[in-house]
Structure 1
Amino acid sequence: MNTVIAFIVIFGALVFFHELGHLVFAKRAGILCREFAIGFGPKIFSFKKDETVYTIRLLPLGGFVRMAGEDPEMIDVKPGQIIGLKFDEQGKVNKVVINNKEQHPDAKVIEVEQADLEHKLFISGYEAHEEERLQRFEVSETSYFIADGEEVQIAPYNRQFASKTLRQRTMAIFAGPLMNFVLAFFVFVFIGIAQGYAVDKPVMGELTKDGAAIEAGLKEGDEIQAIDGESVKTWNDVVTIIRDHPNEELRFTINRNNETTEINVTPGSQKIGDETIGLIGVYAPVEKSFTGAIKNGVTETVMWTKEIVVGLGKLITGQFSIDMLSGPVGIYVSTDQVAQSGIYYLMKWAAVLSINLGIVNLLPIPALDGGRLMFFALEAVRGKPIDRQKEGLVHFVGFALLMLLMLVVTWNDIQRFFL
């Protein structure tokens, strides 16, 4: 049960911050954001603040920000349609009643002759029983449609995604993956402040209870000056020598309380693939400082970004097979294993997943953020946008292929861990 909660919290946080990036920069650009959703499918919980409905949906497979103009508007006003109009204090239309007009007896009922709710913002028509007198009504930018008991804000063109500059649209899309890197950075910084961060110094860190180091008499804080007479300057030097000498006695020259002493240690061994390495049961030394934690946050974020990019490169070149990919099931199993090691390991795992999500979303694959950014790049080169219908078709095909890949990866995970 704890693993389920941890998985939901981690995955929910990654999706939340990703979509929050989209939302913040879209709103800064003046785009009408109709919905901010975590998950897909039926709504479980929702509330509205300002112009946006915030929802949690049943299937925890991602999230989305529904921006005006990205999809065809579900409600339209056409000539010959009978609608009701309500007005604000300035005499502008602030509500357009599409159906169930009997529930709004105060609305002015008209037959539409012409309407433009994107650019000129007006509706003209004939009031009931006054067919000969054509009237024109100005529409407020913040007016609403009322249909089936629900209110939906209209989307003037200047509030739609397509009306914004290329830079604004690019930032609204790029901000999602960007927030995943920002989240990872802050998680690494928090871990560095709370737990400390590893430093590359030849000093003994925490010792395990049953390792060769504690059995030989080494202690946390011992400064290692040499191993078998070979001077060491960094923790990496210490690790390299120990790894290269499994089951071989080593003479450690250490400084303890300003006194030099020598202690013999015989590393144990562990087989990793075809290689056998030495281990003595000790962690790297750690330090705590605010500035150091920030520097460590940058270092960890950059390091894991490089690792994941290299891994994706190997997948593309065929050095990794698709069977090595993990989907939600594989991530759940890995989360269970990491959770058993403690909260800080779980937080680090979440940060790595956040970086992974950011990188994958930046891949130039249709339906992903990277695919949309690719179309923006083409627009910048051509000087005009790609036809929206053609772009939409490409994204639809890309989404279908991604769903197929997800099914294959999930089935591989199920076979690997449960069958």
Structure 2
Amino acid sequence: MSLLESIGGMIHSAGGYILPFLFVLVIVVFVHELGHFLVGRWCGIKVTAFSIGFGPELFGFNDRHGTRWRFAAIPLGGYVKFFGDSSVASTPDGDAFASMSAADRSKSFHHKKVWQRAAVVAAGPIANFLLAIAVFAAINMAYGRQILVPRIDALVEGGAAAKAGLRANDLVVSIDGRAIDSFQELQRIVSTSPGTPLKLVVERAGKDVDLTVTPELKVLQTPFGKQRLGMLGIQGSRNPADVRNIPMGPVAAVTGAVSEIWFIVERTGAYVGGLFAGTESTDQLSGPIRIAQVSGQVATAGIVALLNLAAILSVSIGLINLVPVPMLDGGHLLFYVFEAVRGRPLSMRTQEFGFRIGLALVLMLMLFTTVNDVLHLVAL
């Protein structure tokens, strides 16, 4: 399929892609910026603007505190602008900084104590993680957890599992010391560990047997693009007695949500580490085009699946913003660490230089992921 045909097909079904994409993105961005906003207000900082999106304003209103709430034309992010900021990246207004009155200083972001500024900045990513916990926990409580017992029904001849000595009817007890209670969890760990030796404990005829198996790397073309997956060559149990539905109360639901988030964080870290080590491919990095496509496809499975995607994306946004690159929340936090250690902030010139470097890195990443998305469309 040609690029024009691919883009044409996407435009033809724009409603099916764009509306779910905006639904997911607006929720994630709003919650992130709301974290900054609420903690900023709690610290006594005046908020001049709360924006969903960038560029020209489509519509908005002013609240009684003087904050302009706006929805902009390019909804690929958002920002909270505090009193004393010269830009949406929260860089200080150098011209007005020194000439502020005492009253203005009391409500300026950049005149607050370093711990207050750090709290405001960290509140955005924290809000993203809290959103993910709330969504995952709500789904857990509403639907419980249906699992397939991690019992092996059959093996592919010559596959990684058969070579490692696994047998039909083996029950997987743990992987690398981590207890396994479902075939889904077994699949998830294996699929994200291609080429990595895994230490398994399986129950066989009432006894525990220790084995080491290395998932084979398979590159599969999926609706979401090429996926590099680890595979053992096993089939799960087809016995109805091995299918169980586990109801979850509030504590179990929240615990399960935190566990899900930790798995996402852990695997993201492993993927990034693999990029630097050269064992992972950059073609799995996605930008707004592919996220929109995935949102549309997930939306066909219903609102629960779309909310689940929003929670996953919220964790990803939280993690990305904690990367210590100027322009991102993590970059601001890094500056505040230097300030706390030195006893004074970095010079305006140093901060401005850092923000320019950060902007260049962010733009390069956006360009790279967009090219990846376009190549993915061409390959469909």
Task: Provide TM-score, normalisation by structure 2.
Answer: 0.70
- Determine whether 1:376 maps to 2:333: no
- Determine whether 1:42 maps to 2:56: yes
In structure 2, the CA distance between the partners of 1:277 and 1:56, relative to structure 1 (3 Å rule), is same
Distance 1:291 1:237 in 2: 18
**Aligned partner of 2:136 among 174, 177, 188:** 188
Q: Does the aligned pair in 2 maintain the 1:19–1:64 contact within 8 Å?
A: yes
**Aligned partner of 1:119 among 101, 115, 129:** 101
**Aligned partner of 2:31 among 6, 14, 17:** 17
Matching residue of 2:310 = 350
Q: Does the aligned pair in 2 maintain the 1:21–1:175 contact within 8 Å?
A: yes
Q: Does the aligned pair in 2 maintain the 1:191–1:197 contact within 8 Å?
A: no
- 1:372 corresponds to which letter in structure 2? H
Matching residue of 1:69 = 84
In structure 2, the CA distance between the partners of 1:231 and 1:395, relative to structure 1 (3 Å rule), is closer
Matching residue of 1:387 = 347
Report the alpha carbon displacement of residue 47 of structure 1 after superposing the two structures with TM: 0.5
Distance 2:172 2:32 in 1: 44
Distance 2:24 2:336 in 1: 31
Report the alpha carbon displacement of residue 337 of structure 1 after superposing the two structures with TM: 2.9
Distance 1:392 1:189 in 2: 41
In structure 2, the CA distance between the partners of 1:284 and 1:416, relative to structure 1 (3 Å rule), is farther
Report the alpha carbon displacement of residue 372 of structure 1 after superposing the two structures with TM: 0.8
Report the alpha carbon displacement of residue 67 of structure 1 after superposing the two structures with TM: 0.9
Distance 2:26 2:320 in 1: 17
Between 1 and 2, higher relative CO (CA 8 Å, sep ≥ 6) is seen in: 2
- Determine whether 1:33 maps to 2:84: no
**Aligned partner of 1:157 among 85, 105, 111:** 105
Matching residue of 1:54 = 69
Matching residue of 2:259 = 299
- Determine whether 1:6 maps to 2:20: yes
Distance 1:7 1:70 in 2: 30
- Determine whether 1:404 maps to 2:352: no
In structure 2, the CA distance between the partners of 1:279 and 1:341, relative to structure 1 (3 Å rule), is farther
Report the alpha carbon displacement of residue 275 of structure 1 after superposing the two structures with TM: 4.5
The correspondence of residues 301-340 of structure 1 with structure 2, limited to 5 A, is 301-340=261-300
- 1:328 corresponds to which letter in structure 2? P
- Please, which moves more after superposition, 336-345 or 60-69? 336-345
Report the alpha carbon displacement of residue 232 of structure 1 after superposing the two structures with TM: 7.8
Identity of aligned residues (%): 32
In structure 2, the CA distance between the partners of 1:199 and 1:365, relative to structure 1 (3 Å rule), is same
Report the alpha carbon displacement of residue 350 of structure 1 after superposing the two structures with TM: 1.4
Distance 1:60 1:411 in 2: 19
Distance 2:288 2:60 in 1: 25
SS in 2 for 1:285: strand
Distance 1:55 1:74 in 2: 25
**Aligned partner of 1:415 among 352, 368, 375:** 375
In structure 2, the CA distance between the partners of 1:315 and 1:198, relative to structure 1 (3 Å rule), is farther
Report the alpha carbon displacement of residue 237 of structure 1 after superposing the two structures with TM: 6.8
Distance 2:343 2:230 in 1: 53
Distance 1:350 1:338 in 2: 10
- 2:75 corresponds to which letter in structure 1? P
Report the alpha carbon displacement of residue 359 of structure 1 after superposing the two structures with TM: 0.6
Tell me the alpha carbon deviations over residues 332-356 of structure 1, each in whole angstroms, 9 at most, x when there is no partner. 2222332333332222221111101
- Gap regions ≥5 residues in structure 2: 1-14, 87-91, 155-166, 191-204, 206-219, 221-228
- Determine whether 1:278 maps to 2:235: yes
Report the alpha carbon displacement of residue 161 of structure 1 after superposing the two structures with TM: 1.2
How many pairs are equivalent?
A: 300
Distance 1:358 1:238 in 2: 28
SS in 2 for 1:15: helix
Of Structure 1 and Structure 2, the greater strand share is in: 1
Tell me the alpha carbon deviations over residues 361-385 of structure 1, each in whole angstroms, 9 at most, x when there is no partner. 0001121110111111111111110
- 2:23 corresponds to which letter in structure 1? V
Distance 1:74 1:60 in 2: 29
SS in 1 for 2:45: coil
In structure 2, the CA distance between the partners of 1:229 and 1:38, relative to structure 1 (3 Å rule), is closer
Of Structure 1 and Structure 2, the greater helix share is in: 2
Report the alpha carbon displacement of residue 229 of structure 1 after superposing the two structures with TM: 7.4
- Determine whether 1:362 maps to 2:377: no
- Gap regions ≥5 residues in structure 1: 77-115, 121-140, 142-155, 204-210, 213-226, 245-252, 254-270
Report the alpha carbon displacement of residue 395 of structure 1 after superposing the two structures with TM: 0.7
Q: Does the aligned pair in 2 maintain the 1:189–1:296 contact within 8 Å?
A: yes
In structure 2, the CA distance between the partners of 1:238 and 1:14, relative to structure 1 (3 Å rule), is closer
In structure 2, the CA distance between the partners of 1:168 and 1:273, relative to structure 1 (3 Å rule), is closer
Matching residue of 1:94 = none
Report the alpha carbon displacement of residue 75 of structure 1 after superposing the two structures with TM: 10
Q: Does the aligned pair in 1 maintain the 2:47–2:80 contact within 8 Å?
A: yes
In structure 2, the CA distance between the partners of 1:418 and 1:233, relative to structure 1 (3 Å rule), is closer
Task: Provide TM-score, normalisation by structure 1.
Answer: 0.64
Distance 1:232 1:409 in 2: 38
Report the alpha carbon displacement of residue 200 of structure 1 after superposing the two structures with TM: 8.3
In structure 2, the CA distance between the partners of 1:380 and 1:25, relative to structure 1 (3 Å rule), is same
Distance 1:381 1:198 in 2: 50
